[in-house]
Amino acid sequence: MTKARPKITAEERRARLGARHLLAPAARASTPEAVAEALLGLHATDPASVYLSVAARLKNPSVTELERALYEDRTLVRMLCMRRTMFVVPRELAPVVDASTARAVAARERRNLTKVIQEQLGFDERWFAATESAVLAALAERGEATAAQLADAVPDLKSQIVQAEGKPYEARPRITSRFLGVMAAEGRIRRGRPLGTWASSQYRWIPAEPHPDLPADEAKARLAARYLEAFGPATTEDVKWWTGWTLTDTRKALARTEAVEADLDSGPGHALPAHLDAPAEPGPWVALLPALDPTPMGWRERGWYFDVGHKSELFDTNGNIGPSVWCDGRIVGGWAQRPDGEIVTELLAPGGVGREARAAIEGEAARIAAFFADVRVKPSFRTPLERRLAR
């Protein structure tokens, strides 16, 4: 007789979030490294999202502690990787992320830029290599430098290209940012401390530390297993979407993990053996998570943790989530920071949130407001609810 596949309900999946994603008060972490480890990686397209994702999960939120991890101890590494998205990942995981996803992204970025500079500027691969060497030499001499300082040291970086020629939005940017971005994607340089506040996206550049090379297939299997540790159970489509792999690569990677098939409310999925037992109740919890937080961006299929009827309010047209309010494993509303620094929230289904939970949401809003202090942040990808609340 064929053994029945284990069944894992949406309720059980929600119960896991409070502890596994460090959102329940008793589960909060003491260090930024512990947060990144639990979530596998922190979305870093918006620099502020990294800080706010960590702050939501720390017992004592601290900008200084995250800056220590990013820029002093360098135990957290910023990489262009899954789905051509910027992440901050634990240093120990960087070789796995590089071999499984970042290498392919870097190769694509290099091909695209090489084609543009060859067609528009006449520069060949020898120029590319010589310019890379000049950038590395400038960084070795200075220790760190802004993009503008590197362009002064390597004048060819000031060369301009044409984008959308003949269109109303035609632009003629310098190649500086794209060239440095390719070098960063290839792991030759990395983003150091930003100019201005922790929410700034203007970085200084520094030399990157080398890390071990891994075979791509081994790295993909390890990344799939780590994804299931953080986000499982999950469907094949969830894994494919989150990593940016092809369906074939996703299936091969999952087959090399210890995952077993399980039935989810949304269909067949994969779970690690350790996750088959019913989870312990984490107790009541609420959280205010930033735009692009790893938790709501962890799965392609999201109906088990929020009412899909609210998608148009919470997400932009490209599928990027804005700031969200959570209660016991569900998204129940959104929040925004106003120009005066006030954190305002709105519940999308007020009747489903009790008095104690409302009070906890107010307390969490005050905690996040204290973390912001004088810093003001506007998400890069704005959603209808965030825009309305931020006025």
One DSSP character per residue, 264-281 reads ETTEEEEE-GGGSSPPPP
pLDDT in tens, 301-314: 999 999 999 999 99
Which residue's structure tokens are 């986000």?
A: 231
What pLDDT sits at residue 278?
A: 81
Task: Give domain status of residue 232, yes or no.
Answer: no
* Two structure tokens written together for 107: 């190769």
Q: Kindly state the helix (H) or strand (E) to which residue 38 belongs, with its residue range.
A: helix 32-39
Asked, for residue 312, whether it belongs to a domain, the answer is: yes
- Tell me the C-alpha distance between 78 and 73, whole Å: 13
Q: 207 pairs with which residues across the strands?
A: 189
Q: Are 170 and 160 in contact (CB under 8 A)?
A: no
Give the number of residues written for the chain.
391
State the pLDDT at residue 164: 85
Peptide bond into 233 cis (omega under 30): yes
Partners of 325 in the beta sheet? 288, 333
176 SS3 class: helix
Per-residue pLDDT, averaged over 215-226, amounts to 98
pLDDT on residue 352: 79
d(CA 329, CA 299): 14
Task: Examine residue 374 and state whether it is found in any structural domain, yes or no.
Answer: yes
Cα gap 52→66, rounded to integer Å: 10
Rounded Cα–Cα distance for residues 274 and 284 (Å): 23
Residue 279: phi and psi, rounded to 5, are: -75, 155
Q: Which of 171, 186, 174, 131 is nearest to 153 (CA)?
A: 131
Range of the domain at 330: 286-389
Residue 361 forms part of a structural domain: yes
Q: How many Å apart are CA 391 and CA 387, to the nearest integer?
A: 7
**Does 178 reside within a domain?**
no
The total of structural domains in the chain comes to: 1
Record the tokens describing residue 390, joined without a space: 């931020």
- Mean pLDDT across the chain, nearest whole number? 94
Instruction: Give the DSSP letter string of 294-322.
Output: TTTTS-S--TTTS-GGGHHHHB-TTS-B-
Average pLDDT score over residue span 346-362: 90
Digit-coded pLDDT (tens) for 152-177: 999 999 999 998 888 888 899 999 99
Q: Which amino acid is at 282?
A: P
In a domain, 82, yes or no: no
Q: What is the pLDDT of residues 246-266, one digit of tens each?
A: 999 999 999 999 999 999 998
What Å distances lie between residue 228 and 11, 233, 238, CA to CA? 18, 6, 10
Q: Residue 387 is encoded by which pair of tokens?
A: 């825009």
Cβ partners under 8 Å of residue 87, min gap 6: 41, 42, 43, 44, 78, 79, 80, 81, 97
Question: What pLDDT does residue 350 have?
Answer: 77
Q: Tell me how crowded residue 171 is: count the other CB atoms within 10 A of its CB.
A: 11
In a domain, 79, yes or no: no
- Which burial class, exposed, middle or buried, applies to 228 when counting CB atoms under 10 A from its CB (0-12, 13-18, 19+)? buried
Tokens in use for 320? 């990027």
Are the CB atoms for 109 and 185 separated by under 8 Å?
Answer: yes
Whether 79 and 86 have beta carbons less than 8 Å apart is answered as yes
Tokens of 239: 């894994």
- Asked whether the CA dihedral 209, 210, 212, 216 is positive or negative, the reply is positive
* Residue 2 pLDDT exceeds 70: no
End-to-end CA distance of the chain: give it in Å, rounded: 62
Residue of higher predicted confidence among 28 and 3: 28
For residue 323, is it within any domain? yes
d(CA 314, CA 337): 15
Average pLDDT for residues 116-132, to the nearest whole number? 93
Separation of alpha carbons 174 and 4, rounded Å: 60
| Confidence check: pLDDT of 361 > 70 | yes
- Give the residue-averaged pLDDT of 110-128: 93
Q: Which one, of 260, 271, 235, 267, lies nearest residue 250 by Cα?
A: 235
Q: Which residue has better confidence, 279 or 314? A: 314
Neighbours of 143 (CB within 10 A): 10
Buried b (16+ CB within 10 A) or exposed e, 179-196: bbbbbbbbbbbbbbebee
